[in-house]
Amino acid sequence: MSLLEQIREICEAFDGRIGLSATNLQTEETVGHQAEEVFPTASVIKLPVLLTLMQQVEDGLYSLDDPLMLRRGDKIGGSGLLQYLSPGLTMSLRDWALLMMSISDNLATNVLIDHVGLEQVQQWLNDNGYPNVKLRRKIDFNILNKDQNELGTATPAGLTRMIMAVFQQRHLTPAACTEMLRMMNKVGYDRVGRYLPFEPYGSDVPDEKKLQLAGKTGSLKGMRAQTAVVYRGKPEQNNGFALTIMNEGNPEPERWQPDAPGVLVIGRLTRLIYDAWLG
């Protein structure tokens, strides 16, 4: 059975809608299932917020070292830690961005959308060839609980091209792309990385042979998504693959557990691609 046939078999057995787009970074081979269909992104839409921030830094509008203060009116629920901290806390833009990406902090996200500008994020997407990736508003769960598309939408293919561009140091300078990969390091171990053979902590395996992961996840009720790069060695060696898997509409009661159906299917599909291209 071919890789595509195995992918389709898993996707068709999933109780809900699912899309996948993957690219082998060395051979440029691609594989997809509903890769051009539009899905809700949830927190995966934070990646273009980060790209817009880094673009504005490169344009000289400000520095990642500039301070930004937590205000009482910024509070929002969901994922993250900042909602529990005291107003008046001041951090660098770099630290706000790290929290947005590494632990998907929603408060940090809304603050950074205010900082870079909602319209500017969409303008960056349009200018850089992502017309099917859209950020509609800041995070507002009163709205999202009624319509999951009201934060952001994207195609798996569009997000895969975007994470590849970061990995291959396009759109922005190598330094900016390296910084973004640092902020996304290990994000998605429970999804894309769930069934992959990562070396245990303290392993004496040389760094160039260690499996690495950088990405961004997203979650809403009955919906899970991730875009990521999985690779070995230095990024310039392109020894790995980029992929995006998005699913929605799973009818099981939402318990926000690490073994939710939408999480497990992402892990199973990624392992298929790993075995075919990198294993």
Token digits of residue 60: 């000289």
Tally of structural domains, the chain: 1
What are the tens digits of pLDDT across the range 133-167?
Answer: 999 999 999 999 999 999 999 999 999 999 999 99
* Distance of alpha carbon 180 from alpha carbon 199, whole angstroms: 23
What are the tens digits of pLDDT across the range 223-241?
Answer: 999 999 999 999 999 999 9
| Residue 75 pLDDT exceeds 80 | no
Q: Is 206 left (phi over 0), alpha (psi -120 to 50) or beta?
A: beta
| Residue 207 pLDDT exceeds 90 | no
Cα 83 versus chain centre, distance: 21
Domain that holds residue 51: 3-277
Looking at residue 77, its pLDDT comes to 66
Strand ranges of the sheet holding 39-40, from the earlier edge strand across to the other edge = 39-40, 152-154, 134-135
CATH code of 93's domain:
3.40.710.10
| Residue 4 pLDDT exceeds 70 | yes
Token digits of residue 101: 């990406």
Looking at residue 71, its pLDDT comes to 85
Mean pLDDT of the chain: 95
* Distance of alpha carbon 227 from alpha carbon 215, whole angstroms: 6
Name which residue leads in pLDDT, 6 or 88.
6
* Distance of alpha carbon 267 from alpha carbon 52, whole angstroms: 29
| Residue 78 pLDDT exceeds 80 | no
